[in-house]
Amino acid sequence: MPENGIYLDHSATTPVDPRVVEAMALFWRDVFGNTESSHAFGREAASALEGARQTVADVLNCRLSEVVFTSSGTEADNLALRGVAWAAREAGRGNHVVSTPIEHHAVGHTLDQLHDLFDFEVTWVPVDGHGLVDPEAIANAIRPNTVLVSVIMGNNEVGTVQRMVHIGRLCREKDVLFHTDAVQVPGRLPLEPDDMHVDLMALSAHKFYGPKGVGLLYVRSDTDLVPAITGGDHERGRRPGTVNVAGAVGLATALQLAEEERVKESIRLRSLRDTLIEGVLTRIPDSRLTGHPRHRLPHHASFVFLGVEGESIVQALDMERIAASSGAACDQGELEPSPVLEAMGFSPEWGVGSLRLTLGRSNTAEDVTQVLEVLPGVIGRLRG
Amino acid sequence: MPENGIYLDHSATTPVDPRVVEAMALFWRDVFGNTESSHAFGREAASALEGARQTVADVLNCRLSEVVFTSSGTEADNLALRGVAWAAREAGRGNHVVSTPIEHHAVGHTLDQLHDLFDFEVTWVPVDGHGLVDPEAIANAIRPNTVLVSVIMGNNEVGTVQRMVHIGRLCREKDVLFHTDAVQVPGRLPLEPDDMHVDLMALSAHKFYGPKGVGLLYVRSDTDLVPAITGGDHERGRRPGTVNVAGAVGLATALQLAEEERVKESIRLRSLRDTLIEGVLTRIPDSRLTGHPRHRLPHHASFVFLGVEGESIVQALDMERIAASSGAACDQGELEPSPVLEAMGFSPEWGVGSLRLTLGRSNTAEDVTQVLEVLPGVIGRLRG
């Protein structure tokens, strides 16, 4: 880790919790079997995998069979979208998907490919200036040939949290499957798919102090799904490839810890976040919060600054040993205003100047103080 | 690990080398950044990732840009097949693939889905009784609309190693891309794609003492590939999702170690294997070797026994603390004769009685002696 750095990019990734590192250690050399092998080495690996699945099911309040381990949140989103879309088309149920313009690329680019290469139609329901989508607008976009609605629960770039229960209820009434990318949510907000009428939900371990390289898809029972990658019959035929047992155990351990510490930690982070937001907006002229002021992830502060370029802010903060981002991590280095901010109605002169500060377990009030001391000078110099 | 067990299932999976465990340790909490982040935490992660990629490129004697990290060999096969097939169809170059009936499910089932859901045609070129495919038969199956040939290099079930250079040369002459699933090969045979005229090649870390949950696809420069899962622009736009840096470093370290120790270890294992094969065929009546007697993976012994059922042998050996498998790990528990043995011409009465014993670093001459003492009695009891 860079010496003395303040890490304010927890929406990009998080360090692995020491308790998670410890939980995974058994699975490198001791319990190393292939879960599909029928001998003792395989059985103990399979038992550990099912233990991890039980832990996840307990946190999500769902069935064991509804938990599919994947290699990432991105792969989980792909399995949900491709899986439902291809299954529905094969069954003649339709070829139309409803989504929003503020999805993570794992959803947005997948829908683009489904459109471009596989003849699906996509309706992008607009969002308001705070990045909120109107549940009734989602419902109104549903047609007889609609097979799926996909809406990101907590936006990675601007932190807005959607009205999930409302959207889910309307989808259920119209008998259309509802998928959500909830990658930013664990440890931050309650996350039971049943409560939200969600049929499919993607998570990624490394966003909640688990390892990179493992995610999961919650899939409600009896959801018709074509595997998006094909091979062996692992994960009940929904996701092939030798299961990453260490990763599954790591994800499960991290998810349980995140949930156990969620209420206390999210209150703490929300307080730091609000200090940060108020401080930035007060001290820096021509600054605006992006995303919703109240319906937002508790660890997430995001801004635009008129007349500066986001990537320059990130680089200047980096010189001050503060790690931040300009929008989503996977778009770093791009100088265009983000499509998310465009969809929210920001003009390019505002939209290019975006900064995301996302708090986490390592952050203290001193970190926030430090940022508030440094950032006004950084913005001032960049404008000068 | 089960106490005092003899592990003879190294084609299913291997324990992680202690040096690999150590190499990964830095990446849980110290170097934990997202490789796409532009701050110091991200840069040091990206630097480690590119170091891992360089190690792989050095072993494979290829370019950095030709190495794509994936989550498994299965995902790598999917990226190769779906990627090439979809790109070719979009470009109007054709919709026909040539393969064999002895592919791993990651290839076979992917081609099935490309056929069933996406209107591709597949020609399955037969193999002989040793599981060898005739390179000329592959060449003869190529049509003007053929976009890809896919042949498994070292068969997981029966150990047969194909005439890769010959097949590759014929594909190159006909200007058709050549993919191989080489998952069983690292540490066992030379593996330079250029020498074999291979355009795409899938590997999986956990087969060569690396971690589960990471694989790679070698993709020759200028190969037109549509991403099989979609999202961010990681891995030069070919494989999205936050990169599993610990996994990539683990794979690279394991691959380098496997290559460094390959000649010495494969000679050692070949000798143990030949003792095992000769002992089994000598001591057990109505037993046959499956796969090629000479063109086979050096660690791989596979048999069929008349009048017994493979899964029963595996269970009986398990009681004796010997871990073996009946065919591929991903087919465990099935009582049908394997399609691979059927394709090689085995009748069902032979084909159901298959046993695979795959050697690795932990095995000694004493292990082989022990198996040769136990196995004849096991087969005798099952027949009695």
Do A145 and A94 form a contact (C-beta atoms < 8 A)?
Answer: yes
Element of type H or E holding B97: strand B96-99
Quick one: A282 and A245 in the same domain? Answer: no
Q: Would you say residue B1 lies in a domain?
A: no
Q: Would you say residue B213 lies in a domain?
A: yes
Quick one: A204 and A306 in the same domain? Answer: no
Q: Domain boundary at B213, B234, B260, which? A: B260
Dihedral in degrees, nearest 10, Cα atoms B261, B262, B264, B270: 140
Q: What is the pLDDT of residue A333?
A: 54
Q: 3-state class of A107 per DSSP?
A: helix
Q: Where are the alpha helices (DSSP H) in A125-244?
A: 135-141, 164-173, 234-237
Residues in chain A where the model's pLDDT stays below 50: 330
Cβ contact A5–B40 (<8 Å): yes
Quick one: A246 and A280 in the same domain? Answer: no
Q: What angle do CA B58, A243, B24 make, to 5 degrees?
A: 45
Q: What is the pLDDT of residue B2?
A: 56
Chain A residues within 8 A of B28 when measuring between CB atoms: 15-16, 20-21, 211
Q: Domain boundary at B260, B278, B295, which? A: B260
Quick one: B253 and B341 in the same domain? Answer: no
In this complex, how many residue pairs, one in chain A and one in chain B, have their CB atoms less than 8 Å apart?
283
Nearest CA in chain B to A227: B113
Rounded Cα distance between A377 and A313, Å, is: 11
CA of B324 to nearest chain A CA: how many angstroms apart?
A: 7
Quick one: A143 and A198 in the same domain? Answer: yes
Q: Tell me which DSSP letter residue B207 carries.
A: G
Q: Would you say residue A118 lies in a domain?
A: yes
Q: What is the pLDDT of residue A335?
A: 64
Q: What is the pLDDT of residue A337?
A: 79
The answer to ipTM > 0.85 is yes
CA of A176 to nearest chain B CA: how many angstroms apart?
A: 22
Do B254 and B209 form a contact (C-beta atoms < 8 A)?
Answer: yes
- How many domains are contained in chain B? 2
pLDDT digits (tens, 9 = 90+) for A289-298: 999 999 999 9
Q: Would you say residue A207 lies in a domain?
A: yes
Of B230, B242, B328, Cβ closest to residue A78: B230
Q: Would you say residue B201 lies in a domain?
A: yes
Nearest CA in chain B to A72: B241
Closest by alpha carbon to A184, among A378, A345, A358, A368? A358
Q: What is the pLDDT of residue B165?
A: 98
Of A15, A30, A78, Cβ closest to residue B229: A78
Quick one: B162 and B144 in the same domain? Answer: yes
Q: Testing the interface with A: which of B229, B244, B330 to mutate, by most A Cβ within 10 A?
A: B229
Range(s) of the domain holding residue A157: 18-260
Q: Testing the interface with B: which of A19, A230, A332 to mutate, by most B Cβ within 10 A?
A: A230
Rounded Cα distance between A229 and B107, Å, is: 10
Kindly report the average pLDDT of chain B as a whole number. Answer: 96
Quick one: A202 and A250 in the same domain? Answer: yes
Backbone angles phi, psi at A89, to 5 degrees: -65, -40
Cβ contact A71–B72 (<8 Å): yes
Quick one: B44 and B88 in the same domain? Answer: yes
Quick one: B52 and B151 in the same domain? Answer: yes
- 10 Å Cβ neighbour count for B230? 25
Amino acid letter, residue A322: I
Please report, rounded to a whole number, the percentage of residues in chain B having pLDDT higher than 90: 94
Which residue is associated with the tokens 């996977």?
A330
Element of type H or E holding A123: strand A121-124
Residues in chain B where the model's pLDDT stays below 70: 1-4, 328-335
Global pTM?
0.96
Q: Cite the active site residues of B.
A: 330
Cβ contact B241–A41 (<8 Å): no
Chain B residues within 8 A of A355 when measuring between CB atoms: none
Chain B residues within 8 A of A46 when measuring between CB atoms: none
Q: Would you say residue B250 lies in a domain?
A: yes
Do B256 and B59 form a contact (C-beta atoms < 8 A)?
Answer: yes
Cβ contact A231–B109 (<8 Å): yes
CA of B229 to nearest chain A CA: how many angstroms apart?
A: 6
Q: What is the pLDDT of residue A327?
A: 73
Quick one: B30 and B171 in the same domain? Answer: yes
Q: Would you say residue A1 lies in a domain?
A: no
Quick one: A28 and A157 in the same domain? Answer: yes
